[in-house]
Structure 1
Amino acid sequence: MPPGDKDITITTSGEERSFRVHVPPGYDAATPVAVVLAFHGYTESIDDFASRTHYAEAVDERGHIVVFPRGKAPFGVPAWNAGTCCGTSQIQNTPDVPFVRDMLDRIEQDYCVDPKRIHATGFSNGGMLSHRLACELADRIASIGAVSGTMAIPECAPPRPVPVLHIHGTSDLIVPYATPLAAQTVPSTIEGWTTRNGCNAETQTTYQQGKARCERQTGCDAGADVELCTIDGGSHEWPAGGSAMGMGDLAATDYILDFLEAHAMP
């Protein structure tokens, strides 16, 4: 496949769903590459999400494929069924996890993919779905990096420890840091993963800049680190240079990609 963008439609659970694949320059069909699944937020298009995160540009430098799946939008409002959120996808119990599995089957059919380096990342509702995939699709998803979207399913029992990076602003009014609304709180989400991954009580500060601070739980089973980056006073947006409220103190896209690259499937 040539480098650049390609829109693909598949049939899954009896309906058509689509996604965009971005192939980096220099892609060699004989060399397995990592794949990053990048899930947009509630009401957000893949174009807006790609522009917000600059994932395509970032993976071009690293030689990965990035995939931008489209959430169902029966009334023009894209959403993911992350469990208790969001929108029509949650109300209608849209089979998004089976969609992701079928999408991966197609991607592995069309491209030379390293099955141990398939990762998920997302913003808000897309971050919630990333957490759900870590629970329910851990046989395919090596690790995740979520921004402003917490765990939104009541039970999570992956068959193996899954490395998790979570980034969140403490003043997020849409998905509050410490108040459960449509999903769990950040502390509850992180506590759940540290327990599942068998992490010890020690933490290591991995990043400190302005209002951004990242701390990693160490000693986790199978090297499945759990890391939380907190933006003090940060809002509901993707941290990047130029952002307000301290959100510019962490370049989330590159930080997430660094974490995912360091956490392949055992």
Structure 2
Amino acid sequence: MNIYYKYRNFQKILIFILTTLLLACDSTQAKEKNIAPRKIVKGDNYGKLYDQGKLRTYYFYIPKSDNKKHPMPLVFVFHGDNGSGRSISNVTRFNKLANQKGFIVVYPDGIDQKWSLRGNAKGKVDDVLFVSALIDHLKQQINIDSHKIYASGFSRGGILTQALACKLPNKIAGFASVAGSLPVRLKPNCQPQTPISMLMINGTSDRDVLYEGDDHTQRGALVSIRDMVNFWRSHDQCTSSHKSSQFSEHKVKTSLYTGCNGNSEVWHLAVVNGGHFWPGGASTDESVNRFNAKLGLNASETIWNFFQRHSLS
């Protein structure tokens, strides 16, 4: 009898523990789905989202021209390694442009100031999935034009933008990478089912994202800039091209590929002797500021002009 009662007590304890765990799990899931948003105002805003078991943060800017009755375009801007949403907003000056042109800008924060293109057993998240979840989350918070959501990024953020073009073409209408390229590992699996409108800006003397690409056996290797451009040009089956050079003290070689499927376009701007920087952006490096002043190229304005040409059907 004692053994029987001990067994029954053990069962009760086990049921209690399992019930507690299930309730805790349900509570966590509810927490992940339901973060009460702060009041959204014109100007600076900050948001949070639970995704893949992680608390994610983002900074976003609502232009002063916002009319809640009318949906607005939305532009994502992804920072580089060791950056943040707020820091890349200062570099790109997209907020000022958003006020002038009337669109919302969102600057997500990478975990530990970095982006991950695929999750793994070590607990890394897949930031492509995070961006997809963030789009759904933002649609619940802000009146967004779902046909006019765009993605841009600098450096590692530009690499993430390339990955988003591969994997989220159904949610994002146009893409722009600055000082980024397409990962060698990702290229064979990058087979979006729709045409992709892609703008790329690269410095020919970039020492971080090499214009000639990396050794393909290297961890995290990137394809050459020429291969990246040709990849998107081929994917969109573009039939015509136009090349020109903008001459100042520094030169920008522009290649525009049109006649592409679905009215998509592929643009590439090569900044001759340019390094790892955001053309026309702010910098704490005075030599970059001097280079920018002589260059006469504003990447943020160029990107927005490109985005305006494209929307999801």
Where in structure 2 are the equivalents of 1:167-182 lying within 5 Å? 167-180=201-214, 182=221
Q: Is the 8 A contact 1:231 1:247 kept in 2?
A: no
From 244, 262, 266, the equivalent of 1:222 is 262
Aligned residues: 257
Distance 1:25 1:199, change over 3 A: same
User: What amino acid does structure 2 have at the position aligned with 1:161?
Assistant: P
1:146-165 superposed Cα distances (whole Å, 9 cap, x missing partner): 10010122321112001000
Aligned twin of 1:264: 311
Distance 1:184 1:22, change over 3 A: same
**Which structure has the highest helix share of the two?**
2
Q: Which has the higher mean CA deviation after the structures are superposed, 234-243 or 139-148?
A: 234-243
Percent identity between matched residues is 28
Where in structure 2 are the equivalents of 1:87-98 lying within 5 Å? 93-98=124-129
Does 1 or 2 have the higher relative contact order (CA < 8 Å, sep 6+)? 1
Aligned twin of 2:82: 43
Q: Which has the higher mean CA deviation after the structures are superposed, 232-241 or 125-134?
A: 232-241
User: What amino acid does structure 1 have at the position aligned with 2:306?
Assistant: F
From 266, 269, 272, the equivalent of 1:232 is 272
Task: Tell me the SS of whatever aligns to 1:208.
Answer: strand
Aligned twin of 1:249: 296
Q: CA RMSD in A?
A: 2.1
Q: Point out where structure 1 has 5 or more consecutive residues left out of the alignment.
A: none
Partners of 1:113 and 1:130 lie apart in 2 by 20
From 199, 206, 229, the equivalent of 1:165 is 199
Where in structure 2 are the equivalents of 1:1-266 lying within 5 Å? 1-73=40-112, 78-82=113-117, 93-152=124-183, 153-154=186-187, 155-180=189-214, 182-200=221-239, 202-205=240-243, 208-210=246-248, 211-240=251-280, 242-244=289-291, 248-266=295-313
User: What amino acid does structure 2 have at the position aligned with 1:71?
Assistant: G
Cα displacement (A) at 1:195: 1.1
Task: Tell me the SS of whatever aligns to 2:291.
Answer: coil
Q: Is the 8 A contact 1:124 1:149 kept in 2?
A: yes
Task: Tell me the SS of whatever aligns to 1:244.
Answer: helix
Give the TM-score normalised by structure 1.
0.91
Partners of 2:92 and 2:64 lie apart in 1 by 19
Q: Is the 8 A contact 1:240 1:247 kept in 2?
A: no
Partners of 2:209 and 2:150 lie apart in 1 by 23
Cα displacement (A) at 1:18: 1.0
Partners of 2:128 and 2:308 lie apart in 1 by 23
1:66-125 superposed Cα distances (whole Å, 9 cap, x missing partner): 00000010xxxx111246xxxx99x86421011101111111111111111000000000
Partners of 1:128 and 1:5 lie apart in 2 by 26
Q: Is the 8 A contact 1:234 1:247 kept in 2?
A: no
User: What amino acid does structure 2 have at the position aligned with 1:14?
Assistant: G
Partners of 1:256 and 1:238 lie apart in 2 by 11
Q: Is the 8 A contact 2:59 2:86 kept in 1?
A: no
1:41-65 superposed Cα distances (whole Å, 9 cap, x missing partner): 1111222211111011111111100
Q: Is the 8 A contact 1:45 1:70 kept in 2?
A: yes
Q: Which has the higher mean CA deviation after the structures are superposed, 117-126 or 153-162?
A: 153-162
Partners of 1:92 and 1:195 lie apart in 2 by 36
Partners of 1:92 and 1:126 lie apart in 2 by 20
Partners of 2:117 and 2:224 lie apart in 1 by 15
